[in-house]
Chain A
Amino acid sequence: MPPDSVAALLQRHRVNENLNAAVIPAAARNTLDLAADAVVGPLDERIIEATGAALDAGHTHYEPVPGIDGLRATLAQHLNEATGAQYEAANLLVTAGMQESRFLTLQLIDAGDGAIALPEVVHPGARKALGARPRETVSLVVDAERRLPRLAAIRAALEGGSRLLYIESPSRLSGATLDGDEMAAIAALLADHDAGAIIDRGLAPWASGSVAAPTARVALIGEAFPGAGIDSWLAGYIAVPQDWLPPIQSQKQIMAICTATPAQFGALEAGSLYAEEQPARLAHMQALRAGLQQRARAAGLDVLAGGAAGLLALRLSPSQKSEGLARLAAAGYQVADGSDFGAPDVLRLTVCDAARAALDLLADA
């Protein structure tokens, strides 16, 4: 018989729906694992060498809470080039990956007295992060094609008292991005309502062209250099106005002290190679995705409007979806179920060669 205190405690956690949200793997490793939003690419030897050299040189001790200076600066530069922002190293905090970025921003950025506005379709990690210490949320309606929040919904939430939005661009489910005009409109709404936003742009390096993102009143979050092969090493970032950083940094100290040094030195080297290497990776993935999209459409499957090259999202009828999932499971494939994101009519596949066979199974469903 467990003690009564255990039963009472379990009851407290059980009713917390957000905490019980699904866990989606961050990066696909083997050919049957199609649940991640991108595959892990090959690892450049220079990253191994640089990381090993840092460890040999004694970087096995605690490092500064917000991250090693060089990595903060590299991340700032990368974001400036990608978004036209003017970040300095002091705006950046290195995290132990995307989920820590979600947790620290969703839990620590002041939302005033209002609820946090969360798209009805969002990566389950965002809900989970909010479940760790329950915070009130309101739901933002999304459009049918891209599954991105509607401007009218954002306006209504702000008018209803929300002071903090959470947005993914690209969407973690469809890969679609908000365009420059939409982002400008959101920035104006934030200013009008003295509100802030957390923008997950972790998939932006998988989208062509620049993915717009305002930076005033905004926390940008994402993985550090996705595609460089270090996804499982787990390094991420938070970029914020400097006066937003202290509570986030305090909490990082409380729950982590710092980010693992191999991950940080690996990301540092990955960052220095990124401008050279990511364009070719992106082009390769885009070609792969275009082929998959064509194959899917030719087979009569309904592909959601996307943009991020690492994933492909399909809209399915309830019977198509359940039969498709059964076939995939029987063949050993795992894909991401849109239900976990708040979109029960969607399945998401990782873009890779093995996705062809998975698409064929779905087409037959």
Chain B
Amino acid sequence: MPERERKKSGTNLLYSMMAEAASYDDAVILGRGDPDFDTPEHIIAAAKEAMVQHHSDTAPPEGLPALREAIAARVERVSGVAYDPATEVVVTNGGQEALFLMVLTLIGPGDEMVVPEPNYNTYLDSTRFAGGRQIEVDTFPHQNFRADPADVRRAVNERTKALLLVSPNNPAASVISPQDMRDLAQIACDHDLFIISDEIYDLFVYDDVVHTSAAAMPGARERTLTLNALSKAYSMTGWRVGWVTGPAPLMERLRELKAAITGATSIISQYAGIAALTGPQEPVQMFADTYVRRRRVVLDALDEMGIEYGVPEGGQFIFADIGFTGLDSMQFAQRVLSEQHVLVYPGSAFSEARKQYIRMTFLQPEGTLREGMERMKFAMEGIRADIGNGSAR
């Protein structure tokens, strides 16, 4: 007896496109946010060591103390916020479980969360699971998808329980500025709201943009749950190690929920996580430097194609407007996939309102990206020709 009515989610749509892309030998995959780099060798070595030395260690649901300590140190170093590893850090199965736990902790039936749109679609799925609703605040490419605090303030009502801040953002690639972050935190304080802060891309910011942590803002720490994960920063998407930090009273409830939904996190992954956070950090810097160059390759190509986008200030995505083609994002993505074997994600998978956008990653070697861009230009020529004779669809 499956849940009887469940419409095909955006996520399922993406999986069917990924399957199609996988069927082409020469596919250029600019879809999923999965860095092409394999996990650095010293982390794999630590995992192998853990298989020998610690294969039967058990951990409490909140994670190994040594990992929580490493996480607290990392958060303090990067975000400037101190957390007690004993009571204010919970290790999770990747950022995804962290996200789900944050929503489940803070949002109950009938509660509302204010969400700048577009945003990472799992927040909507998780909010629905919890019986809550999202109130969306529109953002625009010509403002690099900035969430205007004045718009956010207007969206708050008596049912609002939380603000969602994903910075750097997926898919919009916007980064909340220090001043906006201060203003957004002030809104949370004024209306006694919780903040859900997703900082999974915090190490990837471009063009002198700086990352700001919501919990570091005045009055915010006691009302903010923050997630991060090793997935993107260390190319560890398959290992499933993430975490939530927050004030002890909220984290106590989040820990109970962690115990309720999965219990502890895989021991081998946790030891790998300790190695990632306490070992050499050069690979992370290398990834970040590489993304700077790759991002340029894609942006230059989009400029040549005359495709408008919000300048990606951070993260690993570009959200581009293909509305002028007359195609909706699904048609566009399907066309470049079947004609040119280039996988980009349709904006409609993120929200109905973003039907004229596509999301692209730059998580491929520069040569592959150039090849993908050449093919996209080719597809665009065809599409422009179709526009010319009125048959783009």
Contact = CB atoms under 8 A, between A and B. Distances in A.
Tell me if chain B binds chain A.
yes
Contact of A256 (B57, B97, B256, B269): B97
B356 to A, nearest CB: 26
B338 to A, nearest CB: 22
Contact of A43 (B51, B130, B264): B51
B93 A254 contact: no
Contact of A232 (B39, B125, B267): B267
Interface stretch (B8-16, B174-182, B201-209, B298-306): B8-16
Nearest to A101: B262
A110 B6 CA distance: 12
A351 B11 CA distance: 45
B222 interface: yes
Interface in B323-373: none
Given A247-B3, A255-B97, A99 B263 contact: yes
B253 A13 contact: yes
Given A48-B52, A55-B44, A234-B264, A255 B100 contact: yes
A175 B345 CA distance: 50
A254 B129 contact: yes
A111 B2 CA distance: 9
A155 interface: no
Interface stretch (B67-75, B237-245, B280-288): B237-245
B12 A125 contact: no
Given A232-B55, A261-B238, A263-B268, A2 B247 contact: yes
B343 to A, nearest CB: 14
Interface string A226-263: 00011111110000000111111011011111111111
A254 B100 contact: yes
A133 B93 CA distance: 19
A55 B61 CA distance: 25
A23 B263 contact: yes
Interface residues on A, range: 35 or more
Contact of A132 (B94, B104, B194): B104
Contact of A133 (B104, B125, B194, B267): B104
Given A6-B223, A133-B129, A247-B6, A60 B238 contact: yes
Given A20-B256, A61-B34, A232-B55, A5 B268 contact: no
A43 B32 contact: no
B61 A23 contact: yes
A229 B268 CA distance: 12
Nearest to B1: A110
Interface in A44-62: 47-48, 51-52, 55-56, 58-62
A266 interface: yes
Contact of B56 (A27, A234, A257): A27
Contact of B240 (A48, A96, A99, A164): A96
B98 to A, nearest CB: 10
A7 to B, nearest CB: 9
Interface residues of B, number: 70
Contacts of A338: none
Given A3-B222, A232-B58, A244 B238 contact: no
A59 B269 CA distance: 13
A79 interface: no
A100 interface: yes
Interface string B261-292: 11111111100100000000000000000000
Contacts of A211: none
Contacts of A26: 58, 263-264
Contacts of B134: none
Interface in B1-32: 1-4, 6, 9, 11-12, 15, 32
Interface in A152-205: 163-164, 196
Contact of A3 (B15, B58, B125, B223): B223
Interface in A117-140: 125, 128-129, 131-133
Nearest to B41: A56
Given A26-B263, A132-B257, A163-B1, A232 B59 contact: yes
26 contacts: A6-B249, A23-B61, A25-B58, A28-B58, A43-B51, A51-B48, A52-B44, A55-B44, A56-B44, A59-B238, A96-B262, A97-B266, A99-B259, A99-B262, A111-B1, A128-B259, A128-B260, A229-B55, A229-B56, A232-B57, A232-B58, A232-B264, A243-B2, A255-B93, A260-B266, A262-B266
Given A27-B58, A132-B260, A251-B129, 5 more contacts: A13-B256, A43-B51, A60-B239, A99-B259, A233-B55
For the complex of A and B, the 5 pairs showing the least CB-CB separation, nearest first, are: A40-B56, A99-B263, A110-B1, A60-B39, A261-B238
Interface of A: 2-6, 9-10, 12-13, 19-20, 23, 25-29, 33, 40, 43, 47-48, 51-52, 55-56, 58-63, 65, 96-100, 103, 108-112, 125, 128-129, 131-133, 163-164, 196, 229-235, 243-248, 250-251, 253-263, 266
